Amino acid sequence: MKYLRTFAEKCNGCNICMSVCSQLYFKVDDPEKSAIKVAPTDKNTFTLSVCDQCRRCVAECPSQAIIVNMQGVVLINKALCINCLACVAVCPTSTMMTWRGGLVPFKCIACDACAKQCPTGALKTETKED
Amino acid sequence: MNDNESKYDIEKIRKAHKVLKEFTYELKPVVKGYNDRTLYINLATLEITIKPVPAEMKKKFIGGKGYDLKLLWDAVGGDTRWDSPENEICIATGPIAGNTNYPGSGKSLVTTISPQTGIPIDSNVGGHFGPYLKFSGFDAMEIQGKSDRDVLIYIDGNQGQVQIMEAPLEATDSHVVAEQLHEMFAANEREKQHVSVVSAGRGSEHAWIGCLNFSYWDKRRKLPRLKQAGRGGIGTVFRNKKIKAMVVKYSGLTGKSNNPVDLETLQKTGLKLHKEIITLDDKQCQMRTIGTAHLVEIMNDYDLLPTKNFRFGSHPEAKNLASWVWKAMFTQNVPDGCWFGCTMSCAHGIDNFELRTGPYKGHKVLVDGPEYETVGGCGSNPAIFDPKAVVEINFYCDTYGLDTISFGTLTGFIMDCYENGILNQERCGGLEMTWGNWEAALEMMHQIARGEKFGLIAGKGIKFMQEYFVKEYGADAQFLKDIGMHGKGLEQSEYQSKESLAQQGGYYLTNKGPQHDEAWLIFMDMVNNQIPTFEKKAEALHYFPMFRTWFGLMGLCKLPWNDVEPADNAKYPEPNKVPEHVQNYVDIYGAITGEKITKEELIRQSERVYNFQRVFNLKMGHGKRVEDHPPYRAMGPVTVEEYESRAERYDKALQEKQNIDPAGKSTEEKIKLLRQYREAQYESLIDAVFKRRGWSSDGVPTVEHLKAIGMDLPDVLALVKQHLPKTQEPVIAKEDARNQPAKAKKPKKTSAKSIKKPAKKGKRSAKSTKTAARPGSKKRARVLQKPKRAKGVTLKAKVKPAAAKSKAKKAKPVKQTKPGKTSRLAKKPKPIKKSKPVRKAKPTKKSGLIKKAKPAKKIKTIKKSKPAGKAKPVKKAKSKKK
């Protein structure tokens, strides 16, 4: 499956990835609307949270709005989503995202846009066995 | 056949439709959870109209069951019977219903005048019909009048159209008609999830225990699923009106369909509960993997699983019906909820189940469940311990439109009568109704569906059978009264209440009969001893029925309230109320409606409707104290066999509670003494509960109380005044007084202490008693609902209140064990222990019975009728064949 692999030790906390993601999908620069989250730790390092395409949400979705594409990436069909947020609750990595006032959750689809802009090589789109 | 190919000739079925009436209406959005209009349909006149909801109705009745009851009240008179044209079927949701954020928000509430009880029944059911009806524009719908031909009612919530049409070719049985109609009204596979069907089944045409099936489309299985509005015979009324099915179609559901005022709070609260369920369910009730059937072994371990018509509370073979058996049979094993966004997902299904009997023999079908009540009712109670037999009974009950609880309880009653010689093969239409004979039980059900032989008698329920057996077979009326597990005409649901006085009240001091909808207090009372005094029991029998009524006002499911609990629930005061979840309800009510309420006002909302329903019973000629008594088997041992199966407990109770030395006394004598005491206790409980509820000693809500709670509608007050004594007993009239625990008349400190331990003995009970104490833990169970009413036969209290008082005085003061703070029950199912040998083979000897008990046979085949003479002679026996 295709997924965004993270190398937290290389992250410098520039947050460019969050800007790229939110601008690409929501047309705003807003970390709340980014599918990748960068958070500082108390040791001057950073954690990176992003979907690993584990598919727990696919089984949970009551309207079968969440599907897996040919490349193994988990996608949300907005037309079928009934906004229950069960997928958000079940996500083991807390990377099925919501924003205040939003109805449909969103997530990383391994589009590679952020990885391309990352100045330190902390993000890379890769494939792995299912 | 490929996926898109139909099993049915849908076009032919559709072409046979003849539209009798078409009605269009203006589509409007739901605002703050309400449409403020209801739909009225009359099948006789073909009138279809929309009624606005007056402000006062909204304020006092809130929604859901409240709306249903108000509409029904306005439609019927005191002389209306279940099959009168003016009787209605009302279906409503509630302001919170249909939201997709908070688990358990998809319930419909259905009411009618019940064929079984003659008073309003209300049933709470999942499936998509109610929410789709709401988003089609109606907070409730009422169907009045009777058609002279089979009709289909269709509501298109996107086009704003209602149609009544002749429907001659659709199947009647639910699993077929639901599939046909999902297919017919959906333009393509994707649209099937936008359709929901309500149907009954051919059993509902002949029985009084008919239920309604509400469907939802299971996208994974590509089949409709069925959830039941089970209790009280609503399906019977449905088919009596010649409704074959009702269909609603609505697409466009979102998280904002209710137009809530505060979406963020709604989402946040829902998400919190979703996470709680996903994190804790495996460690608590396992609703997501097993559902309510997780209770079977727990009930068996605690001697609470009804066995052999409620004689006993456990059985060695119960392991065959334990949760792990169902878990192994359930297929798919994915979250399986009956409404979108319910992560509790307690619905489970068995795919490709091959039927062994009946008209669908050899078919491989999808069976919903079974749930605990079905396992208890159709499994352990008639001593059927073959899980496949239980699944088949479950399937046929559903598709025929029969209530599994009533069917199970009445089958246990019939088998008890058979063992006692009141019935025999001839009287049972050729069936050998011995304990465990599942083939006979199923054939009886097929007889019900075909409307023939013994099925016609059995399907009318226990109350009818009691009268019939006395009249036709000269059976002992008192014995039948003692062992007939119904109240007000409704069969009791599947928990043993013998050792829990509070649970007896929970079942029988109810508005509609002994169901599991109002108060489930067994663990609080008997295991944890948290409510030892009459005052505490009365408080619980006030609070919990009121709190649970609120789910019915909102269109909510009760399970997410206490079948999962916050991890730190036990550290809060009154953990059995699950305070954090109560606050959730207060919050989401405010988030959707914009009305800020407190948890006290939440109870008040329910109290208005609860009291209204009690007064409604009065309107229908019932609703007084005399109808609030259990059959004695719900209170204690009726027979020698039952007494001796728990002799140690009962002997100890005689000694400790009544100061009677059991030594040297015959079992019959001890049964009598125990009965006097328990019946007196129950009378004292009634006194305390009525007082707490603001009712007269006869069970009539007082004028002062109705005024205090705001249910002082002129016709309600006028009605109660007819039933109150001239100088009205001022019970609890004032607002302030309502918060004071009522005091039982006398035995201030009398308690049901004898019940403090679970029936199971040994290490487990001592330990479990503590662990189980945690209210709301997985051990806690479901509920019961309504109080019984006897029609025709009024129950005489064995001990009059005065006597009850004096007895109660003698009782010892209660020692209360430490409530709460105990740890959760063991999460893993414990092995079922062997039952006590005592209960094995003793022949039943009921007090004052007509005939001797015959030992139960294990014959599983349906034999041909034997001559009636084989049965023990029965007084006035007639070899009457139906």
Q: What is the CATH number of the domain that holds B396?
A: 1.10.569.10
Q: Which two tokens stand for residue B379?
A: 């499994």
Alpha helices in B501-598 (DSSP H): 501-508, 522, 534-554, 559-562, 579-593
B335–A86: do the CB atoms touch at under 8 Å? yes
Instruction: Answer yes or no: is B824 within a domain.
Output: no
Q: Is the domain of B326 the same as that of B241? A: no
Between A59, A84, A103, which is nearest B341 by CB?
A84
The label of the residue with tokens 């309107």 reads: B619
State the DSSP code for B856. Answer: P
A98–B267: do the CB atoms touch at under 8 Å? yes
User: Residues of A at the B interface (Cβ-Cβ below 8 Å)?
Assistant: 59-60, 62-64, 82-86, 88-90, 98, 100-101, 103
Q: Is the domain of B309 the same as that of B408? A: yes
Tell me which of 3.40.30.10, 3.30.479.10, 1.20.120.1760, 3.30.70.20 is the CATH number of domain A2-120. Answer: 3.30.70.20
Q: Is the domain of B525 the same as that of B662? A: yes
Domain of B335, in residue numbers: 290-474
A86–B341: do the CB atoms touch at under 8 Å? yes
Q: Is the domain of B366 the same as that of B509? A: no
- Residue of chain B whose alpha carbon sits nearest to that of A88: B271
- Measure the CA–CA gap between B460 and B471, rounded to whole angstroms: 15
B274–A101: do the CB atoms touch at under 8 Å? no
Shortest Cα distance, chain A CAs vs residue B311, angstroms: 42
- Residue of chain B whose alpha carbon sits nearest to that of A97: B271
Give the DSSP H or E segment for B444: helix B438-450
Q: Looking at the predicted structure, is the pLDDT value of residue A10 above 90?
A: yes
| Structural domain spans, chain A | 2-120
Neighbours of B601 (CB within 10 A): 13
Q: Which two tokens stand for residue B815?
A: 């020692």
For chain A, say whether B100 makes contact (Cβ under 8 Å). Answer: yes
A62–B193: do the CB atoms touch at under 8 Å? no
Between A59, A60, A103, which is nearest B255 by CB?
A103
A86–B275: do the CB atoms touch at under 8 Å? no
Between B220, B267, B278, which is nearest A90 by CB?
B278
CATH at residue B42: 3.60.9.10
Q: Is the domain of B467 the same as that of B515? A: no
pLDDT reported for residue B873: 37
Shortest Cα distance, chain B CAs vs residue A110, angstroms: 25
Q: What does residue B67 show for φ and ψ, rounded to 5 degrees?
A: -65, -45
Are the C-beta atoms of B440 and B865 separated by less than 8 Å?
Answer: no
pTM of the predicted structure, to 2 decimals: 0.86
> Residues of A with CB below 8 A from B263's CB?
101
Q: Which two tokens stand for residue B33?
A: 């959870």
> Residues of B with CB below 8 A from A59's CB?
334-335
A82–B255: do the CB atoms touch at under 8 Å? yes
Q: Which of B249, B278, B301 is the last residue of a domain?
A: B249
- Measure the CA–CA gap between B409 and B497, rounded to whole angstroms: 14
Q: Is the domain of B710 the same as that of B752? A: yes
A86–B274: do the CB atoms touch at under 8 Å? yes
State the DSSP code for A101. Answer: T
pLDDT reported for residue B4: 54
CATH at residue B708: 1.10.599.10
- Measure the CA–CA gap between B514 and B618, rounded to whole angstroms: 18
Please choose, from the candidates B509, B512, B329, the residue with its C-alpha nearest in 3D space to the C-alpha of residue B403.
B512
Q: Is the domain of B636 the same as that of B733? A: yes
Q: Which two tokens stand for residue B809?
A: 């005085």
Are the C-beta atoms of B73 and B619 separated by less than 8 Å?
Answer: yes
Q: Is the domain of B197 the same as that of B339? A: no
Beta strands in A81-130 (DSSP E): 123-127
Residues contacting residue B658 through CB under 8 Å, at least 6 positions apart: B673, B674, B677, B810
- Listed by number, the residues of chain B in 187-246 with a beta carbon closer than 8 Å to a beta carbon of chain A are 193, 219-220
Between A83, A89, A90, which is nearest B254 by CB?
A83
Q: Is the domain of B594 the same as that of B710? A: yes
- Identify from A60, A83, A100 which residue to disrupt to test chain B contact, counting B C-beta atoms within 10 A and taking the largest count: A83
Residues contacting residue B471 through CB under 8 Å, at least 6 positions apart: none
Give the DSSP H or E segment for B679: helix B667-693
B751 three-state secondary structure: strand
Half-sphere exposure (Cβ direction) of B450: Cα atoms closer than 13 Å: 13
What pLDDT, in 10s, does the model give residues A76-95?
999 999 999 999 999 999 99
Length of chain B: 882
- Measure the CA–CA gap between B51 and B40, rounded to whole angstroms: 7
Residues of chain B with pLDDT under 70: 1-5, 727-882
Please choose, from the candidates B628, B605, B618, B635, the residue with its C-alpha nearest in 3D space to the C-alpha of residue B541.
B628
Q: Which of B791, B810, B829 is the last residue of a domain?
A: B810
Instruction: Answer yes or no: is B256 within a domain.
Output: no
Q: Is the domain of B330 the same as that of B416? A: yes
Instruction: Answer yes or no: is B282 within a domain.
Output: no
B254–A82: do the CB atoms touch at under 8 Å? yes
Share of chain A above pLDDT 70, in %: 100
Q: Which of B795, B810, B825 is the last residue of a domain?
A: B810
pLDDT reported for residue A101: 83
Total structural domains within chain B = 3
Q: Is the domain of B614 the same as that of B716? A: yes
Q: Is the domain of B651 the same as that of B549? A: yes
Q: Which two tokens stand for residue A95?
A: 């990377």
> Residues of A with CB below 8 A from B256's CB?
83, 103
Between B256, B274, B340, which is nearest A63 by CB?
B340
Q: Looking at the predicted structure, is the pLDDT value of residue A43 above 90?
A: no
